[in-house]
Structure 1
């Protein structure tokens, strides 16, 4: 079922069909990020496992996903993105089968990690192929549509999980969550193999193995200790020391990448990407948004069960309006302009304020009234995030160079998955450490209150970065597209000339990510 290399541009109808397949595959990987949150109590009751093991079922997938993304993006840029996509999708489906049949909690964690590797291989190719199918002038809308679908998938996953578990029971229900992924994957992979035809691309040979090793070690060391903290702050200094060492390794990685560029070799991540208007800021904003969205949604779904006394199905049904609100936000973004800068900052601001209000609600509102108050506020938060996320992704990736398209896409996904891992881990630590402590309002729910205030603060930081970027580059989408278009289709000599012009921006620390 192989497809021949494309020798002519895709027709509009063929492009739409390929786009749907790519979006469906990407949505499956995001479904697996958030679907287990509502099922964690049932999994622990069914399989046992200490809190750290249960927590790794969530964070292990996200962390493996994040670590794989950037190397996979570079592999896709060097080899054929279609081939790497199919390999990643196949690994993802096989690992999902293993998760559905896992006899122990430890094997379920292992299956989740392999799932994350498959997702990390798959996702950069989705973004890379989309960027190659559409010229820069037409790229904003499909990128925004992809981001909107992924946001809705993330919010809708708990609803799907709650319905399935209510119908099948806890012990069987959580396994059926993986069966759903398997069935969908067995449809998507064969269709993708026959339908996806990759547009021709300029390819730069070389793979930065040392950079990939430094990045992987740095991310795992920086995030894993908190992720495996058993829902409480570590009592020994070693986890903090490992995290600090991970941060140092990540700093060394960025210095090494600059050295690779200066020596004229191909880096894993070209630092000059961050000299593009909106790119560095957009990647950072996306990470903060996903830390808040994933951590906040997880805390709300758990707290509605443990504080307000709702069942998994009741929690899922109460969360349904948030998905509708997210869709409405995406529609607002499409009407306002797919890369509208003020919309990003305003949407994030609305979402941050309402997340903080939800935290205060757990501290002051009686348990019986919590579902109404929390869901009303969370819907408003989802409206803001649903408008901001698609616009931010489109704004960030709209003019990525051709030979860096998969890496550019993997960077924003890397930021999202790393942000999700940090957001979930930090929120769970605060939640469980302070769960039964009294709040100023007299409620025994300081854990959820402070956890939600934490993720609200993270989101507020993202909003400030977005606002600063808009003030720095108002209308930058239109003014700065010419050099990047040159790097899309120019000869290697022209590309080197473009790189030389952007190098001083990076070398002197004036790139937008600051």
Structure 2
């Protein structure tokens, strides 16, 4: 049996297999933002209430985040190929069901299933990249994944706007889901042929951790519910779930330590957090996603509700960020081997600078031309985003043993989902509060964007602190060099200079 201690020769089809992974990642992440511009169409064509519309958006994010870690661990144990294909098939079927939903209630139900399926697919993608690509190739692969993350998130409003403009407002929302079908079917067929059949485990039988799943799932649910429902649940009572979340996650931590002491396989190997690259990278990722994903939420709302843009025009306005993010991520995947964490610092600085430029554009050109005025700052921010997300993912996972890659990727992406929900709650609260009290939309969007910049600066401070620490205590190691004898036979990856 092939194990991580005796890695096979790289599969010559691995780049085609990566294309399958990226296609699945694209449609699952596209659905986090594409529905935002389709909500008025759902209200008109399906008579969806505000509560139902809220759950169409937040329910997907919620079940997506809940599934990530258990699905990643399942892929590590039973095989990432099987988990990936099952998740992709379920996602495609759920997308069809969403598009055919006869009522708002059925749409919400199918949307929850779709989010769960996306949460099954996502950690397998990062795990398969860890499994298929060694060394500098892995950085390039993560660079392409970073491009997909940026493009899919930012082009969601544009894609939704194009579909609704072409089909009409009554049924346009249905095609927001139908667009996944040809991509999902093609990716599934190609995945059957191209994805590696290599076992993901170390060869010994490991058991799932149902208690850990229950504690972690309950904790994440209690943490995310008040965040994703911040606008829909009035009053402060919802925040009482936060200490409940803290207690459940604390109990999860204690349980996982107990599992490790007993020699049982934990849901999350807490030894991952002894790796500075993983812990710091996860914190940077959490902070960054809390900042940058909110931009598309509040800026497109401002353009449509206060400047008079159509859904299509609002989507086109954020296109510079998407295109530049794809370029920046591909470039970052190539440069991270040379520059390490310094590249993340440069990227985060570019995002902060770009968003400050958008603030200035709103101040100087508050009318219908604001979309053109914001194009250059969004371009700068998009390049910075690509240089930040892709290299940070590479550096975060680079020393994780391959047989733990799925669970580690699940932890990283859970932080991203929770960060996005927290950022939208915070920035949205600032935007809506000032809009209601002050009545000046331009001021409200500026304050909202400045709040997002402040959150991104937290990620920048973390990256700079780590960079300075490494300059004082350098680690003369090469990027992604396999080391025999890693824990449980895993392949440990070494971190590059200054990373």
1:463 corresponds, among 436, 439, 460, to 460
What is the alpha-carbon distance in structure 1 between the residues aligned to residue 351 and residue 262 of structure 2? 44
**How far did residue 343 of structure 1 move?**
1.5
Deviation sequence 1:59-105 (CA, Å, 0-9, x none): 21111111100011111111111111111111111111111112222
Q: Are the structure 2 counterparts of residues 53 and 454 from structure 1 closer, same or farther at C-alpha, using a change threshold of 3 Å? A: farther
Q: Are the structure 2 counterparts of residues 357 and 395 from structure 1 closer, same or farther at C-alpha, using a change threshold of 3 Å? A: same
Query: CA contact under 8 A between 2:366 and 2:442: conserved in structure 1?
Result: no
Q: 1:448 — aligned with what?
A: 445
Q: Are the structure 2 counterparts of residues 325 and 306 from structure 1 closer, same or farther at C-alpha, using a change threshold of 3 Å? A: same
**How far did residue 185 of structure 1 move?**
0.7
2:477 corresponds, among 479, 498, 513, to 479
Q: 1:209 — aligned with what?
A: 210
The normalised TM-score by structure 2 is 0.89
Q: 2:31 — aligned with what?
A: 32
What is the alpha-carbon distance in structure 1 between the residues aligned to residue 27 and residue 283 of structure 2? 24
Q: Are the structure 2 counterparts of residues 196 and 335 from structure 1 closer, same or farther at C-alpha, using a change threshold of 3 Å? A: closer
**How far did residue 438 of structure 1 move?**
2.8
Query: CA contact under 8 A between 1:344 and 1:388: conserved in structure 2?
Result: yes
Query: CA contact under 8 A between 2:344 and 2:463: conserved in structure 1?
Result: yes
Matched residue of 2:368: which SS?
helix
Q: How does 1:358-397 map to 2 (within 5 A)?
A: 358-359=358-359, 361-362=361-362, 365-397=365-397
What is the alpha-carbon distance in structure 2 between the residues aligned to residue 398 and residue 198 of structure 1? 22
More displaced 10-residue stretch of structure 1: 6-15 or 203-212: 6-15
What is the alpha-carbon distance in structure 1 between the residues aligned to residue 153 and residue 190 of structure 2? 24
Q: 2:275 — aligned with what?
A: 276
Query: CA contact under 8 A between 2:320 and 2:382: conserved in structure 1?
Result: no
Deviation sequence 1:336-386 (CA, Å, 0-9, x none): 335621110121122124324434654664223322223332222112111
> Which segments of 5 or more consecutive residues in structure 1 lack a partner in the other structure?
499-514
Deviation sequence 1:163-214 (CA, Å, 0-9, x none): 1111111222221111011221111112212221233441550222111111
More displaced 10-residue stretch of structure 1: 195-204 or 283-292: 195-204
The normalised TM-score by structure 1 is 0.87
**How far did residue 477 of structure 1 move?**
7.5
More displaced 10-residue stretch of structure 1: 177-186 or 202-211: 202-211
**How far did residue 317 of structure 1 move?**
2.1
What is the alpha-carbon distance in structure 1 between the residues aligned to residue 88 and residue 454 of structure 2? 35
Query: CA contact under 8 A between 1:308 and 1:371: conserved in structure 2?
Result: no
**How far did residue 9 of structure 1 move?**
3.8
Query: CA contact under 8 A between 2:59 and 2:108: conserved in structure 1?
Result: yes
Q: 2:497 — aligned with what?
A: none
Query: CA contact under 8 A between 2:150 and 2:325: conserved in structure 1?
Result: yes
**How far did residue 243 of structure 1 move?**
2.3
**How far did residue 484 of structure 1 move?**
7.2
Query: CA contact under 8 A between 1:152 and 1:326: conserved in structure 2?
Result: yes
Q: Are the structure 2 counterparts of residues 185 and 335 from structure 1 closer, same or farther at C-alpha, using a change threshold of 3 Å? A: closer
Deviation sequence 1:379-417 (CA, Å, 0-9, x none): 221121111111111111122102201111212121122
Q: 2:85 — aligned with what?
A: 86
What is the alpha-carbon distance in structure 2 between the residues aligned to residue 193 and residue 476 of structure 1? 44
What is the alpha-carbon distance in structure 2 between the residues aligned to residue 457 and residue 40 of structure 1? 29
Q: How does 1:151-166 map to 2 (within 5 A)?
A: 151-166=150-165
Matched residue of 1:230: which SS?
coil
Q: 1:501 — aligned with what?
A: none
Query: CA contact under 8 A between 2:10 and 2:132: conserved in structure 1?
Result: no
Deviation sequence 1:36-69 (CA, Å, 0-9, x none): 1222232233333443432222221111111100
Q: 1:219 — aligned with what?
A: 220
What is the alpha-carbon distance in structure 1 between the residues aligned to residue 295 and residue 446 of structure 2? 11
Query: CA contact under 8 A between 2:18 and 2:129: conserved in structure 1?
Result: yes
How many residue pairs get aligned? The number is: 485
Q: How does 1:157-236 map to 2 (within 5 A)?
A: 157-201=156-200, 202-203=202-203, 205-231=206-232, 234-235=234-235
Q: Determine if the alignment matches structure 1 residue 120 to structure 2 residue 119.
A: yes
Q: 2:496 — aligned with what?
A: none
Matched residue of 1:36: which SS?
helix
Matched residue of 1:153: which SS?
helix
> Which segments of 5 or more consecutive residues in structure 2 lack a partner in the other structure?
493-499
What is the alpha-carbon distance in structure 2 between the residues aligned to residue 482 and residue 8 of structure 1? 14
Q: 1:238 — aligned with what?
A: 237
Deviation sequence 1:303-322 (CA, Å, 0-9, x none): 11112111112222222222
Q: Determine if the alignment matches structure 1 residue 329 to structure 2 residue 307.
A: no
Deviation sequence 1:452-474 (CA, Å, 0-9, x none): 22222221111111222222235
- The two structures, once aligned, show a CA RMSD in angstroms of 2.8
**How far did residue 139 of structure 1 move?**
2.0
Query: CA contact under 8 A between 1:88 and 1:119: conserved in structure 2?
Result: yes
Query: CA contact under 8 A between 1:61 and 1:112: conserved in structure 2?
Result: yes
Q: Determine if the alignment matches structure 1 residue 406 to structure 2 residue 403.
A: no
What is the alpha-carbon distance in structure 2 between the residues aligned to residue 473 and residue 255 of structure 1? 31
Q: Are the structure 2 counterparts of residues 469 and 360 from structure 1 closer, same or farther at C-alpha, using a change threshold of 3 Å? A: same
Q: 2:43 — aligned with what?
A: 44
